Amino acid sequence: MLGIHTSSFKCLLLIIIGLQLLRFCELLKDSRCCVKVIWLAIEQNL
């Protein structure tokens, strides 16, 4: 183990994925849909 708590790592991973999704959504120009997608992703991983 690298000494990283699983929950902290998962949270960091969610933030990274969220930022990638936001960048993708800027291309789609549909932020409302993007927020729903990110929120669903967070709920699925908690």
pLDDT digits (tens, 9 = 90+) for 1-46: 555 567 788 778 888 887 887 777 677 666 666 677 777 777 876 6
| Main-chain phi, psi angles of 12, to 5 degrees | -60, -40
Query: Which DSSP letter does residue 29 get?
Result: T
Contact 30/13 with Cβ under 8 angstroms? no
Q: At what angle do helices 31-45 and 6-28 cross, to 10 degrees?
A: 160
**Is pTM, for the whole model, over 0.85?**
no
C-alpha 12/C-alpha 38 separation (Å) is 14
* Per-residue confidence (pLDDT) for residue 29, from 0 to 100: 67
The domain limits of the chain are: 6-45
Instruction: Please enumerate in sequence order all residues whose Cβ is within 8 A of that of 31, keeping only pairs 6 or more positions apart, or say none.
Output: 25
